[in-house]
Chain A
């Protein structure tokens, strides 16, 4: 229905490098393959609702192996004999995520709050999903637009320069959604021509349980974009396998103390690199590297070198120069300005030197 109004969004369909790094995603948007969550719904899982978290994780591990096998089979033959399972791999994920909420460790901070008992975690998220806005986003990476974007409230880290501060930290009012209603919204976005559903915020991590439950009620084929700050726990990473089609992950701080100082995110480098490596195993990657003024040597350079070394030269990267001082950026002296031309040039040089070729 959408005539693609963005020339870049059309041009990317002829971009061999982009197509290669997101190959499966491109076939899903054309409905030639199934989104992962649909396969997850077909895969039967055997578990008892009252079983301990430990037992559920064991079953999950076994199912994840099955999932990869079945996904390959279905991808190749495009046929399957599975009927929608009464208790599926997706149901198992929902069960586990629900249990995690009771002493929340969805994000790497693991604040341990019981979010089902009317308490808010560090992220200021409680038991009901609150949404700020929903629309077909035309400003994302060309391969994503038009993107059915859903902005939820709350975030697991607190960047002093956050450009979405009003919904991530200041918590402006939103609208509460139950999973079933949200499912209808997502279906409508896809049917109106969005290429994907883009889970963003704030941060989608605190709402993983709600998202999993939402997709239980969705019956259209739509690729899931996990648009996150990468600061989530290993448990969340496991639950994302077999659910997220594309991992759209932020990577903006190097191994020094910048992340803790600016975003209150301890162990950022460790968590972020671990999650990105894990994501590569289970889905397709698109990394966002935000270049911050005066953080080229300590952040941009080590990030780009790490990507080239660990993920390969053809990793799809969006090297972002749009930083502008927002929110409380004035509290950090070097963040009070935009990037200079020479900083932009320098960042591109770093990327070239590292050998990276697939830039958005």
Chain B
């Protein structure tokens, strides 16, 4: 998908913004797309490294079909190399691994387990686009929605390709989108493509929620968070949900301590004061900033604990019961009772 043939049997892959020029027999940066005689093949097609039923709030998506269950799938590989990756066992795999799980099976599994959606997550959906695309197409036919969880480093063409079947996207920033941070952490030369991709998602009317990982010392600049929040407000609107995620030690970054709750609160205040209406703190269960409040009258609207909704205080047409302010939530509430997540394999 989305590659151009070049001279001498080389190909240029236009899925992610690296736009790798791949010579015959070689793979791109992601190691899962290989040029064989001038044709680019996806090596991870139909091979899931993980499949699980998750609450949608885990993605995180707070303003999209709240309470829904999503079938989460992933294929091996990534176009980033983050030292702090918490899914490194599958994203940083050198060889393509996975269990055969064709698109039709995914959709069937989602229906069987009464999931309302399918989420392409854990690793990077950009680099298993064909797999995601075909699954998403089948899912739409049976009325199941699709969501991406992505680092945002995909090209506008890639966004356009998946757009007809994509309903929501979570775009993850790390370290406040600081270019120096991206350069040394993942050999990402330039962060602008992420902003371009976000604009393209918006043009295609896909529901967007943004996250930012706050890492102590190296990625917790308050100025950066304020800048980012301002950009979101001006480009995507002040109603865009913005999740600040707490760092926890993982993969190769086990000596950095988890972000302090105070640090998270400082970031929260910065994002709120930049003018965003819905800012959330993630990975601090029980924190008041997990809840949704009415931006008009400050009434508690949705009370959450971790991934669960514990109290629902909105009218049927998604308005504040006190001041009738319209809260931008797409889709319906899906009340349920079973404990989640659980893994298929």
Q: Which residues of A contact B (CB under 8 A)?
A: 118-120, 122, 124, 126-128, 130, 153-154, 158, 170-176, 264, 327-328
| A128-B21 contact in complex given A119-B189, A120-B189, C-beta closer than 8 Å | no
What 1/0 flags go to B72-101 for Cβ under 8 Å of A?
000000000111000000000010000000
Can you add 14 more A-B contacts, CB < 8 Å, to A172-B81, A173-B252, A264-B26?
Answer: A119-B189, A120-B187, A122-B21, A124-B187, A126-B189, A128-B183, A170-B81, A171-B186, A173-B81, A173-B82, A173-B186, A175-B184, A176-B180, A176-B183
Considering residues A120, A124, A153, A173, which has the most beta carbons from chain B within 10 angstroms of its beta carbon? A173
A126 touches B183 (CB 8 A): yes
A158 touches B26 (CB 8 A): yes
B81 touches A130 (CB 8 A): no
Whether B195 is near chain A, meaning CB under 8 Å from some CB there, is no
State the CA gap A170–B82 with chains docked (Å). 12
Whether B190 is near chain A, meaning CB under 8 Å from some CB there, is yes
State the CA gap A119–B94 with chains docked (Å). 25
Q: Which residues of chain B are near A175, meaning CB under 8 Å?
A: 184
- Tell me the count of chain B residues lying within 8 A, CB to CB, of chain A: 20
Within 187-236 of B, Cβ neighbours of A (below 8 Å) are at: 187, 189-190, 192
Q: Which residues of chain B are near A127, meaning CB under 8 Å?
A: 189
B184 touches A176 (CB 8 A): yes
Chain A min CB distance to B329 (Å): 37
A118 touches B190 (CB 8 A): yes
| A130-B190 contact in complex given A124-B29, A170-B81, A176-B180, C-beta closer than 8 Å | no
Q: Which residues of chain B are near A119, meaning CB under 8 Å?
A: 189-190
B29 touches A130 (CB 8 A): no
Q: Which residues of chain B are near A172, meaning CB under 8 Å?
A: 81, 83, 252
State the CA gap A173–B187 with chains docked (Å). 7
Q: Which residues of chain A are near B18, meaning CB under 8 Å?
A: 120
Q: Which residues of chain B are near A128, meaning CB under 8 Å?
A: 180, 183-184
Whether B146 is near chain A, meaning CB under 8 Å from some CB there, is no
State the CA gap A111–B252 with chains docked (Å). 32
Please classify the interface of chain B as helix (H, G, I), strand (E, B), loop, or mixed, using the class held by over half of its residues. Answer: loop
State the CA gap A173–B189 with chains docked (Å). 13
State the CA gap A49–B60 with chains docked (Å). 52
Chain A min CB distance to B57 (Å): 29
A130 touches B184 (CB 8 A): yes
The listed residue (A130, A173, A327) touching B83 by CB distance below 8 A is A173
Q: Which residues of chain B are near A158, meaning CB under 8 Å?
A: 26
Q: Which residues of chain B are near A122, meaning CB under 8 Å?
A: 21
Please classify the interface of chain A as helix (H, G, I), strand (E, B), loop, or mixed, using the class held by over half of its residues. Answer: loop
Whether B23 is near chain A, meaning CB under 8 Å from some CB there, is yes
19 A-B residue pairs with Cβ-Cβ distance under 8 Å, sorted by A, are A118-B192, A120-B187, A124-B187, A126-B183, A126-B187, A127-B189, A128-B184, A130-B183, A130-B187, A153-B187, A170-B81, A170-B94, A173-B82, A173-B186, A174-B184, A176-B184, A264-B26, A327-B94, A328-B94
Within 114-132 of B, Cβ neighbours of A (below 8 Å) are at: none
Chain B min CB distance to A111 (Å): 8
Q: Which residues of chain A are near B187, meaning CB under 8 Å?
A: 120, 124, 126, 130, 153-154, 171
State the CA gap A120–B252 with chains docked (Å). 24
State the CA gap A268–B138 with chains docked (Å). 49
State the CA gap A174–B192 with chains docked (Å). 21
Chain B min CB distance to A359 (Å): 35
Q: Which residues of chain B are near A130, meaning CB under 8 Å?
A: 183-184, 187
Whether B312 is near chain A, meaning CB under 8 Å from some CB there, is no
Residue of A nearest to B190 (CB): A118
Q: Which residues of chain A are near B189, meaning CB under 8 Å?
A: 118-120, 126-127
B81 touches A171 (CB 8 A): yes
Chain B min CB distance to A229 (Å): 17
A264 touches B252 (CB 8 A): no
Chain A min CB distance to B181 (Å): 9
What 1/0 flags go to B278-316 for Cβ under 8 Å of A?
000000000000000000000000000000000000000
| A171-B29 contact in complex given A118-B190, A120-B189, C-beta closer than 8 Å | yes
Q: Which residues of chain A are near B186, meaning CB under 8 Å?
A: 171, 173
Q: Which residues of chain B are near A173, meaning CB under 8 Å?
A: 81-83, 184-186, 252
State the CA gap A173–B185 with chains docked (Å). 4
Chain B min CB distance to A286 (Å): 30
Residue of B nearest to A158 (CB): B26
Residue of B nearest to A127 (CB): B189
What 1/0 flags go to B51-63 for Cβ under 8 Å of A?
0000000000000
B183 touches A264 (CB 8 A): no
Q: Which residues of chain A are near B190, meaning CB under 8 Å?
A: 118-119
Q: Which residues of chain B are near A328, meaning CB under 8 Å?
A: 94
Residue of A nearest to B191 (CB): A118
Chain A min CB distance to B300 (Å): 41
Q: Which residues of chain A are near B185, meaning CB under 8 Å?
A: 173
Q: Which residues of chain B are near A264, meaning CB under 8 Å?
A: 23, 26
State the CA gap A170–B91 with chains docked (Å). 12
Chain B min CB distance to A170 (Å): 7
State the CA gap A124–B186 with chains docked (Å). 11
Residue of B nearest to A327 (CB): B94
Q: Which residues of chain B are near A120, meaning CB under 8 Å?
A: 18, 187, 189
Q: Which residues of chain B are near A126, meaning CB under 8 Å?
A: 183, 187, 189
Chain B min CB distance to A48 (Å): 30
State the CA gap A132–B23 with chains docked (Å). 27
State the CA gap A158–B26 with chains docked (Å). 9
State the CA gap A124–B190 with chains docked (Å). 12
Within 24-67 of B, Cβ neighbours of A (below 8 Å) are at: 26, 29, 31
Residue of B nearest to A154 (CB): B187
Chain B min CB distance to A326 (Å): 10
10 shortest interchain CB distances as A-B pairs:
A118-B190, A171-B187, A126-B189, A173-B83, A176-B184, A173-B185, A118-B189, A120-B189, A130-B184, A124-B187
Chain A min CB distance to B13 (Å): 14
State the CA gap A118–B184 with chains docked (Å). 13
State the CA gap A175–B83 with chains docked (Å). 11
Chain A min CB distance to B95 (Å): 9
Considering residues B82, B180, B183, B252, which has the most beta carbons from chain A within 10 angstroms of its beta carbon? B183
Q: Which residues of chain A are near B83, meaning CB under 8 Å?
A: 172-173
